Structure 1
Amino acid sequence: MDVFASAQAAADNWLQAVAECVAQLSSLPRGANLGFVYATDAFSPDLRSIVRYLKDALGVDLWVGSVGVGICAVGREYYETPALSVMVGAFPPNSFRLFNTVSEGLDRFIAEHGAWFAAKQARFGVVHGDPRNRRLPQLITRLAAAVNDGFLVGGLTSTRSLYTQVSGEVTEGGLSGVLFAPEVPVATTLTQSCAPFGAPHEITQCQDNIIMTLDGRPALDVFYDEIGDILSRDLNKAARYIAAALLVPGSDTRDYLVRNLVGVDPRARLLAIGETVQPGQVLQFCRRDPANAMKDMRRMLRELKERIPHPPRGAIYYSCLGRGRYMFGENSEELKVIQQEFGELPLTGFFCNGEISHNRLYGYTGVLTLFL
């Protein structure tokens, strides 16, 4: 029996798009009780109406989702056009719990949901974040720790309009989403877009996001040595291809967080990146590489397929805005590769302003979650 179904539609107005999605979901999974909805940001002012229509038309009361500059569907990416991607699932009763915006501390979240996730031993969640909230990286880490040292997946809203999310109702301002009990089996992994090169370097002197020295040497001198003379002469070009990879301590897979280079000071020989850093952290420079990114994605899909016990029933994919058409071209190649590996698997998701995996905020990654 199918327990997931997905739909996608592009249309000039939200009513036409959501009606087309509802028509595609005419064979709704029996017992469907949770939906995921992602809209391109052209529909962000209409998200409340879209959710209300989906609830009434499908009889599914609980929805989570967000808006994105681009959205993901089965074998298709949508950009620069009003579009919707929807997936509904039939989950065991009381196997999931929606939570609304966590914007500062976790006291209210724990008061409302702590007894449930403690009793259920829930350790997995799908979350959406508002990138305007500066506490978000810390909130992600703290939320994962609070939920039984759990594992979160998701992404930050990307938009040129309203920063709207869905968690039961339309919300914004922090983290929102849904927690799942262990009786909902999942498998998840991520793929990187940027390949490290050169040697790892210890951050020896820094302040906030400004790196003064690497390995005791001026940070900008180390950067110039790593990227070579040609790129050193054109820092604007270098910034389009080169980023900083902060190695994750204790990772047995040499995991790393990619952060943009945001500024240099040629006089003081300083380097600034898009992340607050601490002395002792290890940094390696990395380059955006479409060929290696696609190679790594195929590896990820192959390894994920090998480790799951049976074919998946549904999927959610969160990808960086810097991937998709900007890395692989205009032909939806990123989503087509997933389709090639898993067939017509119901799938939804969006292109994010930062991707969430486990307890960290990533950049330039693709995070795939399979419902088994």
Structure 2
Amino acid sequence: MADQMQWANALSTRPSLEAAVDEVVQRTASSLSARADLGLVFISSAFTSEYSRVLPLLADKLSVPVLIGCSGGGVIGTIGWGQTQELEAEPALSLTLAHLPGVNIKAFHVVAEELPDLDGPPNAWIDLIGVPPSPTPQFILLSASFSSGINDLLQGLDYAYPGSVTVGGQASSGVMGGKIALFYNDRLYQEGTVGVALSGNIVLETIVAQGCRPIGKPYQVTKGDRNIILELDEQVPLIVLRDLIAELSEEDRTLAQNSLFVGLAMDEFKVCLQQGDFLIRDILGVDPAGGAIAIGDYVRAGQRLQFHLRDAEASAEDLEFLLKMYQKQQAIEPAAVGALMFSCLGRGAGLYGQPNFDSQLFQRYLNDIPLGGFFCGGEIGPVGGSTFLHGYTSVFGICRAVESKSS
């Protein structure tokens, strides 16, 4: 009998942590007809006071050699009959189990202080992770929100493991400054990054839906200091922005009051920039006197940017377009067996005015494969050959075998 890759997910809404653990373990284990090699657990911040009990409770019920996970302001999973739910700000626990024949699984936990110099040799990163660059590993990363060194880690992995795919998200608490949790086998952390490297008979394919649309035209940063834009096209940034907003439709002007963002161009050499060519970043504040604009990333002279608006319609259209593109490529065999979803806290019901939008749209195109995940403080996914930490994004990591395995 063929030993095929298997994937299962269960979501529990039980308010008791013991009952929730019992339910997700029972449902996922009964869905697998072979041993679980990897577990991923996501827990709602409604259980904040009980984070330390999660791993002992799971260990009592579940035997899995590698388990990672984290807390989220909301969690995503399957409630039965292939129906997904996105539960925000209420008790919920999502467990994914995977049987991965022919796959080498290496878990790790790293903190910012351990990260090698980005100017050094790639071997330093390979030694840190403990995984050879061939066969090309696929990474799932879950990081702490603050001081985790996640941007340097993403650059380092891209550098040391060319061709690898990395997905994941930043653990979140649902409230500013709240407690987060990272789970790594039998240990609980509040800092750094936990992850798994998956090498061998496995492919991770990605969909990165940013859900913002550009307005106006691209500008060039002609003067900047860290995360502060001091000049755009040699003009005062705030005046540039005011002129742009004045030209918008009344509907877009209203939207710009609380859904205005900056998109930083990812490719310095691309001449015609379009939707999807940008990294979306927050506008943190403006200096009314000097006209400078502070954003949620570093800027440098010569960099191109474009202002963006985010609304439900743009987000829905962006995700559906990407899902249709992915579906067209699915003549590939074997088919996808499971997926992970890392969605921004700024999406969900707050954006769409209805629950479960992104996950149910995904299921419509991906034939009800098991889906688990959480609402993040930042989403990790590749765009244009490099891996970035995104905002206001839904990142999907879709898993399949490279080839069918037979015993």
Are 1:76 and 2:85 counterparts? yes
Match of 1:338 in 2: 362
- Once residues 260 and 90 of structure 2 are traced to their aligned partners in structure 1, the CA distance between those partners, rounded to angstroms, is 30
Query: Of 183, 188, 191, which residue of structure 2 is paired with 1:166?
Result: 183
- C-alpha displacement at 1:2, in angstroms? 6.3
1:63 aligns with 2:63: no
| Matched residue, 1:301 | 323
Which residue does the alignment assign to 1:126? Answer: 140
1:40 to 2:37 alignment: no
- List per-residue Cα deviations over 1:26-65 (Å, max 9, x = no partner): 4234021101111111224433422233233232131111
Equivalent residue for 1:222, pick from 237, 240, 249: 240
Give the direction of change, closer, same or farther, for the CA distance of 1:94–1:343 in structure 2 (3 Å limit). Answer: closer
Please state whether the residue corresponding to 1:305 is helix, strand or coil.
helix
Mapped pair 1:269 → 2:305: no
The farther-off stretch of 128-137 and 191-200 is 128-137
- Tell whether the 8 Å contact from 1:38 to 1:350 is kept in structure 2 after alignment: yes
**How does the TM-score come out when normalised to structure 2?**
0.84
In 2, Cα distance between equivalents of 1:301 and 1:338: 7
Deviation of 1:193 after TM superposition, in Å, equals 1.4
Write the letter of the residue equivalent to 1:154.
G
Partner residue in 2 for 1:286:
308
Return the alpha-carbon distance in structure 2 between the equivalents of residues 55 and 298 of structure 1: 39
User: Cα distance 1:155–1:264, how it changes in 2: closer, same or farther (>3 A)?
Assistant: same
1:207 aligns with 2:207: no
Cα distance in 2 for partners of 1:231, 1:265 equals 25
Question: Conserved in 2, the CA contact under 8 Å of 1:72 and 1:350?
Answer: yes
The alpha carbon displacement at 1:15 in A equals 0.7
Instruction: Kindly report structure 1 stretches of 4+ aligned residues shifted beyond 4 Å.
Output: 229-232, 250-254
Tell me the residue number matched to 2:403.
Answer: none
Give the aligned residue type for 2:367.
Answer: G
Query: Are residue 52 (structure 1) and residue 69 (structure 2) matched?
Result: no
AA matched with 2:179: L
**Structure 1 residues 1-372: aligned runs within 5 Å:** 3-27=6-30, 28-74=32-78, 75-92=84-101, 95-107=104-116, 110-111=126-127, 113-114=129-130, 116-118=131-133, 120-133=134-147, 135-148=149-162, 150-159=164-173, 160=175, 161-168=178-185, 169-228=187-246, 238-250=256-268, 255-308=277-330, 309-310=332-333, 311-358=335-382, 359-372=387-400
* Partner-residue secondary structure (3-state), 2:86: strand
Give the TM-score, by structure 1 length. 0.91
Distance in 1 between residues matched to 2:60 and 2:110, nearest whole Å: 24
SS in structure 2 at match of 1:104: helix
Q: Which runs of 5+ in 1 are unaligned?
A: none
Aligned partner letter, 1:213: E
Residue type of the alignment partner of 1:272? A
Alignment CA distance shift 1:335-1:99 (3 Å): same
Q: Given that residues 101 and 171 in structure 1 are in contact (C-alpha distance below 8 angstroms), is that contact kept between their aligned partners in structure 2? A: no
* Contact 2:285/2:295, CA 8 A, preserved across alignment: yes
- Secondary structure at the residue paired with 1:277? coil
How far did residue 327 of structure 1 move?
1.1
CA distance in 1, matches of 2:13, 2:349: 17
1:147-180 deviation line (CA, Å, top 9, x unaligned): 3453211111110332211222322312221011
Cα distance change on mapping 1:44 and 1:149 into 2, 3 Å: farther
The whole-number CA distance in structure 2 between the counterparts of 1:236 and 1:51 is 46
Check whether the contact 2:213–2:309 (CA below 8 A) recurs between aligned residues: yes
CA 194–228 in structure 1, closer or farther in 2 if over 3 Å, else same: same
> Deviation at 1:223?
0.7
Share of identical aligned residues, percent? Answer: 29
- Give the structure 1 partner of residue 405 of structure 2: none
Could you tell me whether the CA contact under 8 Å between 1:121 and 1:148 is conserved in 2? no
Distance 2:269 2:361 in 1: 27
Q: Give the letter for the 2:210 counterpart.
A: Q
Using the TM superposition, give the Cα deviation of residue 92 of structure 1 relative to its aligned residue in structure 2, in angstroms.
Answer: 2.5
Cα distance between partner residues in 2 of 1:94 and 1:49 = 30
Question: In terms of mean alpha carbon deviation, does 91-100 or 288-297 score higher?
Answer: 91-100
User: Structure 1 residues 172, 40: closer, same or farther in 2, change over 3 A?
Assistant: same
- Counterpart CA distance in 1 for 2:85 and 2:206 is 20
- Cα separation, partners in 2 of 1:101 and 1:293, compared to 1, 3 Å: same
Residue identity opposite 2:38 in structure 1 = L
SS in 2 for 1:340: helix
Residue 36 and residue 303 in structure 1: after superposition, are their counterparts in 2 closer, same or farther (change >3 A)?
A: same
In the aligned structure 2, how far is the partner of 1:224 from the partner of 1:356? 32
Question: Is residue 64–residue 166 contact of structure 1 (8 Å, CA) maintained in 2?
Answer: yes
Structure 2 unaligned regions, length at least 5: 79-83, 117-123, 401-407
Paired amino acid for 1:263: G
